C-alpha cells in the first residue's frame, strides 16, 4: 500500500509544490483547497506527471467546523503526512478592515488547523508513526502593524506546533513548523484583494517556492521541529530578539504602509 498524505492549500503555491514533491516520492494524495477549478487542474497535472492516486476535496477551511467536515470525508485514510499549508494575508488598519476576512483567517490559521491536527495526530499516535508540518511565517517572530491578525495567527501556529512536537516525543510522530520569508507566490495579490487595495507586486522576495518546499520537505523527513529556509531569513528571525520592540514595530509599520500605497 502506498503512503498517503493530506495537504491543504493544495491548488497553488507552496501547497501545490508539496503535492508535486510527495507524488514524485510515490505518495498518494488528498488535495484540499477552496478553489475547485484550480484544484482539479493541479491534480490532473500531478496525476499525469507522476501517476499518483489523488482525491480532491473542495473545502473552505476558513469556515466554522470545516476541519470536522473534512475529516468526516477522509476518516478511513491512514495519513502518513499532514501538511497544513492553506493561508492568506490581509493588509490594512485593524479598525478599517472587514471582520469577515479576519474571522475567516482565524478559522483557517488557528481553529481548523488545530482541530485537523488533533484529529490526525490521534490516529498517528495510535499507529506509532506519522509526520505533521504546519506552515507559519517569519511574521511569527514579531507583531505586525497593518497585518495585525495575520502576524498574530502565524505566531500561534509557531508556538502551537513546537509545543505539540514536544508532546509527541517518543510516539513515532513528528511535528514540524515551517517559517519562511517571502517567496514567489500569489500571496501579496491575495492579501491586496482581501483588503480592497489594488493588486501589488511581491516585495523583498528572497527565494522561490520550489526552494522553500524542498528545504521544508527535507527537514520534515528528518524530524526537524523548526525550519527557516535561507540564511538571510534566519538572521531576520533573530532581529526581534535583540532590537528594541518599538523600533521593530515602527520599522514594520513603515514597510507595510509603503507596500500598501504602491
List per-residue pLDDT tens for the chain, 262 residues long.
Answer: 789 999 999 999 999 999 999 999 999 999 999 999 999 999 999 999 999 999 999 999 999 999 999 999 999 999 999 999 999 999 999 999 999 999 999 999 999 999 999 999 999 999 999 999 999 999 999 999 999 999 999 999 999 999 999 999 999 999 999 999 977 655 544 544 454 444 444 445 568 999 999 999 999 999 999 999 988 888 877 777 777 777 778 777 887 777 666 6
Query: Which overall architecture, per CATH, does domain 4-261 show?
Result: 3-Layer(aba) Sandwich (3.40)
d(CA 214, CA 50): 17
Query: Could you give the dihedral angle defined by the CA atoms of residues 98, 101, 103 and 107, in that order, rounded to the nearest 10 degrees?
Result: 180
User: How far is the CA of 203 from the CAs of 31, 66, 139, 149, 188, in angstroms?
Assistant: 29, 32, 14, 20, 8
Sign of CA dihedral 180, 184, 186, 187: positive
Name the DSSP class of 98. -
d(CA 256, CA 69): 36
d(CA 53, CA 55): 7
Cell numbers for 242: 535583540
User: What does the domain layout of the chain look like in residue ranges?
Assistant: 4-261
Amino acid at each position: 500500500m502506498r503512503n498517503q498524505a493530506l495537504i491543504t492549500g493544495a491548488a497553488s503555491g507552496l501547497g501545490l509544490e508539496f503535492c508535486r514533491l510527495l507524488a514524485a516520492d510515490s505518495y498518494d494524495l488528498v488535495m484540499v483547497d477552496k478553489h475547485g477549478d484550480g484544484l482539479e487542474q493541479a491534480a490532473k497535472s500531478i496525476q499525469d506527471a507522476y501517476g499518483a492516486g489523488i482525491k480532491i476535496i473542495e473545502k473552505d477551511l476558513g469556515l466554522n467546523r470545516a476541519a470536522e467536515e473534512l475529516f468526516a470525508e477522509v476518516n478511513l485514510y491512514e495519513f502518513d503526512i499532514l501538511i497544513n499549508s492553506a493561508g492568506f494575508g490581509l493588509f490594512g488598519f485593524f479598525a478599517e478592515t472587514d471582520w469577515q476576512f479576519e474571522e475567516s483567517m482565524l478559522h483557517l490559521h488557528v481553529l481548523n488547523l488545530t482541530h485537523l491536527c488533533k484529529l490526525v495526530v490521534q490516529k498517528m499516535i495510535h499507529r506509532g508513526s506519522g509526520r505533521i508540518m504546519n506552515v507559519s511565517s517569519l511574521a511569527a517572530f514579531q507583531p505586525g502593524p497593518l497585518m495585525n491578525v495575520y502576524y498574530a495567527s502565524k505566531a500561534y501556529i509557531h508556538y502551537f506546533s513546537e509545543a505539540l512536537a514536544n508532546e509527541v516525543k517518543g510516539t513515532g510522530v513528528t511535528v514540524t513548523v515551517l517559517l519562511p520569508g517571502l517567496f514567489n507566490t500569489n500571496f501579496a495579490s491575495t492579501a491586496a484583494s482581501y483588503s480592497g487595495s489594488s493588486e501589488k507586486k511581491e516585495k523583498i522576495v528572497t527565494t522561490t517556492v520550489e526552494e522553500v518546499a524542498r528545504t521544508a520537505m527535507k527537514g520534515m523527513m528528518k524530524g526537524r521541529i523548526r525550519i527557516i529556509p535561507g540564511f538571510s531569513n534566519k538572521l531576520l528571525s533573530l532581529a526581534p530578539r535583540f532590537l528594541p520592540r518599538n523600533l521593530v514595530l515602527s520599522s514594520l509599520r513603515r514597510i507595510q504602509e509603503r507596500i500598501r500605497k504602491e
